[in-house]
Structures are given as structure tokens and as C-alpha cells.
Structure 1
Amino acid sequence: MRSNPNILVISFSDIRRDARLLRQLSVVKDFGHVTTLGYGTQPEGSDEHLQVPSELPSLPQTVPGVLKLALHLHGASEFAAPALRRARELLRDRQFDLVISNDARALPVAFYAAGDSTPVWADLHEWAPEERTHIASWRILVAPYIRYICKKYLPRTSAQTTVAGRIAHLYQETFGVQPQIMRNSCPLQDLEPSKTAREQIRLVHSGGAVPGRALETTIKAVVAAGERFTLDLYLVPANDGGKYLRELKSLAEGSPRIVFHDPVKPAELPKTLNQYDVGVFWIPPFNTNARLTLPNKLFDFVQARLAIAVGPTVEMVDVVKKYNLGIVSKGFSVEEIVASLNTLNPERIENYKQAVDYAATDLCFEKDAAVARKILTDLLDKNR
């Protein structure tokens, strides 16, 4: 292996907007020459970028491609997606010392690039076989294909990571691999808890305006909770042309206590959120990933030094209760959310904020970066 290893990072996303990928690259760049492959232009941390046109889908969508999925011709489906075919063309005749595949759908390209001897690290951001099973066409056509990809390729990977323990257990139980845990944490921030307002409790939520996250329930709950509460929303439009975000704004019309803001870059979020009191996220368990989510935003709230309010989502509950970070509602209905909010007062919020401040050094990317560094060191050393 060369003294400056060639490392390939694959993600069928716009890496510049993908917080987990940007954090991954912040570590990987210290280990060699980094080539990224994905949508959008070159991200920070990349030495060279192979750009896949954003209009090329990463799953089969043509009539022949969909027919292959419907007939469970999964081997023939691996490069039926236009984005994967283009990726294969971009990688032709290139050699790498390590390949990192982000999400299961990138695994065929990763093993094409790796050849017979190059190690592959699979960073599995969530439970891949049920990524979008709340959509009938995805559940019927794509889920069996993703299971095929995981069954074929994951046992051949040299390392695996995922975001939380219960999802890691699913991979172990289903595909016989043992992923290490790399949470969706953000870097430690040099911030202190803001002074808690006495008159109103300032709630905040940040993330994607994605149907299924039930942000309409959040808005209704804040309206129902009364004048003591305000809600500020920093939302990124979904891939629906902003339709759901417009619906949310329409729902909140007439309530001056609910304010929508432009989205903020991931690196700037904790400082922006620091002015508020409580970070909120009540996501109903509409599929396995929703039921087991341990999202970026929880760690953004921690680094912003906010108290936290969540529903009974098990991975988030484990963190909130372990460190005494905030409150957990009994369920996901408007009434149950309001009941939990009504337990808050300035004194309790200040106590939660102090607990969050204490926990911030443990719930930060520096802890998870150590996992990535060990994987990179081990795999590159083995390949020398």
C-alpha cells in the first residue's frame, strides 16, 4: 500500500448537506488521499470528487429496472439504477486502499471499486431494509432488494458501523455482522446554557420537513399548550418541492407563537439553537427506523445546551433518562405531549440545562470519531 493511502467514500446523497458524511470526512481526511463519489459538488474534506448527476436515481426507476425488482431479479438489479451505472463508469480503472460505503444501496459500487482485496467499511446510517417501508411501492419493490444487497455484501465487509445499539442488534441477528456504534453526534461546542426565560418557555425544533415526522402534531400541541410556550422551527424542505413545509406553515397561520426560520448549516446549528430553552422531537413509530431513531437533532440540542422533550422513542429515552436531560411524554398524541410540557417550569428547565451541559462532553462527536479512527487504522494497517 502507498504511504498516502487512496480512500474512496461513496454516498448517494449531496455530501455537502449530509452532516454525518461531513463528520466522517473530517476524520477520514487525516488518513490519506480522499476521493468522494456522490451527488453535488466537492465537499469539505475531499481531495477529489466524482460527481454523479443529481437527476440520476440511485434505485431502479425505469420500466425494465422496476420489472427486475418486481420479479425479484435482484442480481440483475444491482446496476440497473442510473446513478450506480454512472458511478461504475467514473470508477473504472481506479484503485483504492480502502472503500467506505455509506448506506446499503452503495455496496455494489463499493465492491466494484474494491476488487478482490481492498477492505470495505459499511457505514449503515439506519436499518436499511426498512428505510422507507411506510411507502407501499418501496415496501413491495425495494425492501426485498435491499435485503438481498445486505445478505450478499455485508458479510464480506471488513467493518460495519451504525447509529445505535438496537439497530446494530438487528444487523447482527439478520445478517450475521456486528456493527460498531457511531452515533449521529456533533462536535463538542464551547457554549453555556442560555438564561431561561421566566415568562415564556422557548421550544425549538430543527431538521427536515419530512412527512411522517408528525410536525403537524408538534404545532397543534404547542397551540393547545397555551401562551406559556413558543415554538421556533428551522426546517429543510423535503424532496417534495416543499409541499409538506407549506402545509405546516398554513397550519400555524394565526399563531404568533410559532415562527418558521430558514434552515441553518449543521456546523452553525448549536450556536443558533442556544438561545432557546427546550429542543423538542416527537416522532411516532411509523416504521422500524422511526421507532429506533437516535437522530442528529438530539445531539444538536445537547451541544446547544438545551433541555430536551421527546416521546417514548426508546433510543432517545435511554439517553435522556441516563443523563437526566429532560422530559418524555407517555405517547405521541397532542394531549400526551401537552401533558408532558405542562410539567415544565423555569426551575426544572434550568436543572435540565445544567445536566445537559455536564453530559455534552460525553455526547459529542469526539467520542464517536475515536471509533472511526480505530477502524481506519486497523483496516489500513491490515492492507499494508
Structure 2
Amino acid sequence: MAGGGKKILCLSFSDINRDARVLRQLEVLAELGEVTTVGFGDRPAAATEHLEIDADLPSLPQTPAGVALLALRRFDRVELAAPAVRAARSVIGDRRFDVVVANEARAMALAYEVAHGAPVVADMHEWAPEERSHIRSWRLLVKPFMTHQCRRYLPKMAAVTTVNDSIGELYREQLGVDTHTVRNAGPFRDLAPSEVPDEGIRLVHSGGAVPGRNIEALIEAVRGLDETYSLDLYLVPGRDNGRYLDQLRGLIGGDERIRLHPPVAPDELVGTLNRYDVGVFSHPPLTPNHRLMLPNKIFDFVQARLAVVFNSAPETDRLITGHELGVVAGDSSAEAMRDTLAALDVDQVRAFKRNADTAAKVLNFGEDSAVLRTMVGDQLPH
């Protein structure tokens, strides 16, 4: 039996089967013990037990009473008041665990309560206080709450992880908390770069269909390029009943070079991307998380043996230039993406794809899984 029957709780207010980071986390946790997951959607394959909560329940205190308490800064009264948090607390009941893993700041208070003194490991993912600080209501109501959560609970955590060193430095400088880096890198995939056709360059983007992700800029950039470029979009629908996807369809119009596909399962994504030539991504630096981004898609693109074109950001710039994976656009505008893509030629793309093939051997989950395995393993009773 894995982990000698040790019991691990993994809390994530997400659809875990669509959350690549949490799925990778679960693979490691399952090596160490019997894992109970709490989250939206069906039981993940690595979980021994899954406690499902209604995906329509918000994980922040977005009820009228909750919003009023946020405005009054009564954070002690709303820590466990969000509808999804209350539902999770109910389904966990009186179960006991040897270690609890909390994904993101909004899960820490509940994790600390249901741990009953067992160690809690917090995977903060990104910089929690300013997750969506470009939205006024978040900045005024939620940012102070998230900052409170971090100040109160991070010192109580047995260990803390985040996605990259730059964001880890924010936690150290502003909150006095040391973190471990577990990047959003996927597993190594034994693939070869696909052939780049002489007559054109096949662009691809994958990710969430969420307003603010700047997918419009990718579409507009390709509409400004000639017929030798195509763009395929593999988008996970947001929680808006398809409204944003409909907006993107309207923007694409009748341009047959730009195709919108249903999402593919996380374990099928890299194989699907491998059919293309260049992975594209552009995100305006609206928040510190955007400015310091190191998203899972750059690792997906590398494992798919693609060239990449990203807008400039310190962490992604370092990977792209260090491994000669592609080209960095000057900013996040459609014009910068268009001009950067227009300057590419087929031979350059072939060279970048060969470099991605080399980089794939080091830019994968192997190193990060070892960090997570050791960190959680050290908290389990021996």
C-alpha cells in the first residue's frame, strides 16, 4: 500500500481534472499515501477518495453578508464563510489526516482547521494578495482579505510552495515567508519535433477562455498576417456559460485560418500540440502575477517540441533566451505579436523546434516532483 496507509488530504477549489498543476501534485501525493481530494468535478485518477463540492459555489465570500463583512474588514468572520468552503468543511466531516495540502490562499484557513494539528503544506501557486488586482472590486474587497489570510496562516504552514523564484521572493520580502519552487512543468514526453511545412507556419495556443487572457490580441495578430500563417485555439470554457467564447467566435468571423477547438484532456494536450509549429502567448502585465508569469503552457509547448513566441516577462524571457526556444515580442499588443511573427521564417522555426527537443529533457516535472516529494514526505509520520 502506498505510503504504508498514511492519509493525505488535498484541498483545491478547482475542477481538479482540468487543473494540470494539482493533477501533477496528486501523482506525487499518491506515492506517499492514500489521498482524499476535495474539489469540483469527478474523482481524479490518483485519488483514493474524492469529496465533490458543487462547482457553482463560489470559493470566496461573495454572498451579500460576506461582501458586507469584507467591506468592514471583519476577516475573522469570513475566513470559513465562502459557500464552497462551507460545503468542503461539511463533506470532510470528522475525518483525520496525517498531512493536509492546501491549494491557494483561499484554502488555507479550512486546511488549518480540518488538519486538527497535523502539518499543512500550502501550495500558493502564485502571488495571492494580487491575484486579480486589476479588477476594482477584487482590489478593494478581496486583496485585503487575501493579505490577511497570508499574514495569519502562512506562518502556521509546515512548508510553502509557489511557481517560480520571482514570486517566492515576493513572499519572502513582503510577508517574511520562505518558499520552495515547484514550477508548472509537465512530465517529460518522448516526442520528436513535427515537420514544418515549407508553405506556412502553424501557430497554436491553449488555455482558459477567460476575459483578460488577451486571446483577442492573438486573433487580431494573425488576421494581420498573410495566408501562410494559421492559428488553432484549444480553449477550456470559463464559468460564464460560454459568453467569452462567443465573443472570440465573433472576432474570428469567417477567417478560415483561425480555428477554435474544444479543450483536450491534460494528458492528451502535449500530443495534440505536437502537430503544430509555434506556441503563442501574450498577456498584458496587469498584476504582479502577470508580470512574473511562468505559466504551464511554456512547458507544454517545450514538451510538444514547438518554437515559442511570448510577450516579454522576466521568467519566460530567461527560459526562451537561455534555451533559444523562440522570440520575445516587445509588448503584449496585437501589433507586437503580428510583427514578431511576420519576421519569423520556416528555417528559424525548425531550429527553435530542435532546441525545444533538447530543452525538453530538463524543462520537465522531474526536478519539481523531487522537491514536492521530499517536502511532503518530511511532514508524514515515520
TM bucket, shorter chain: over 0.9
RMSD of aligned Cα (Å): 1.2
Please say which of residues 95-104 and 232-241 is displaced more in the overlay. Answer: 232-241
Instruction: Output the CA distance in 2 between the equivalents of 1:90 and 1:62.
Output: 21
Structure 2: give runs of 5+ residues left out of the alignment.
none
* Cα drift, residue 228 of structure 1: 2.1
Partner of residue 361, structure 2: 361
Cα separation, 2, equivalents of 1:91 and 1:261: 37
1:131-168 residue CA offsets vs partner (Å, 9 max, x unmatched): 11122111111111111000000011111111111111
**2:202 corresponds to:** 202
Mapping 1:1-384, distance limit 5 Å: 3-116=4-117, 118-380=118-380, 383-384=381-382
Residue type of the partner of 1:303? Answer: Q
Q: Output one character per residue of 1:221-276: Cα deviation in whole Å (capped at 9) or x when no partner.
A: 11112222111111111111111111111111121111111111111011111111
Asked if the contact 1:162/1:182 (under 8 Å) is kept, the reply is yes
* Runs of 4+ with deviation above 4 angstroms: none
Whether contact under 8 Å (1:88, 1:112) holds in the other structure is no
Check whether the contact 1:127–1:167 (CA below 8 A) recurs between aligned residues. yes
**Conserved 8 A contact 1:68-1:77:** yes
Could you tell me the TM-score, scaled by structure 1's length? 0.96
Q: Cα distance, 1:16 vs. partner?
A: 1.5
Query: Bigger CA drift: 363-372 or 353-362?
Result: 363-372
> What's the CA shift for 1:361?
1.1
Distance in 2 separating the partners of 1:84 and 1:239? 18
1:213 and 1:95 map into 2 onto residues whose CA distance is 39
TM-score (norm 2): 0.97
Q: Does the Cα contact within 8 Å between 1:283 and 1:313 map onto a contact in 2?
A: no
- Following TM superposition, by how much is the alpha carbon of 1:91 offset from its aligned partner in structure 2, in angstroms? 2.6
In 2 relative to 1, CA 333–86 (structure 1 residues): closer, same or farther, beyond 3 Å? closer
Instruction: Please tell me whether the aligned partners of residues 120 and 159 of structure 1 are also in contact (alpha carbons under 8 angstroms).
Output: yes
Residues of 1 paired with 2:83 and 2:250: CA distance? 37
Q: Distance in 1 between matches of 2:92 and 2:250?
A: 46
Residue-by-residue CA offset, 1:38-70 (whole Å, 9 max, x unaligned): 122211111011222223221112221111100
* 5+ residue gaps, structure 1: none
Amino acid corresponding to residue 87 of structure 1 in structure 2: A
Q: Are residues 3 and 273 of structure 1, via their aligned partners in 2, closer, same or farther at CA, if it must alter by over 3 Å?
A: closer
Percentage identity across paired residues of the two chains: 49
SS in 2 for 1:121: strand
Q: Distance in 2 between matches of 1:200 and 1:254?
A: 20
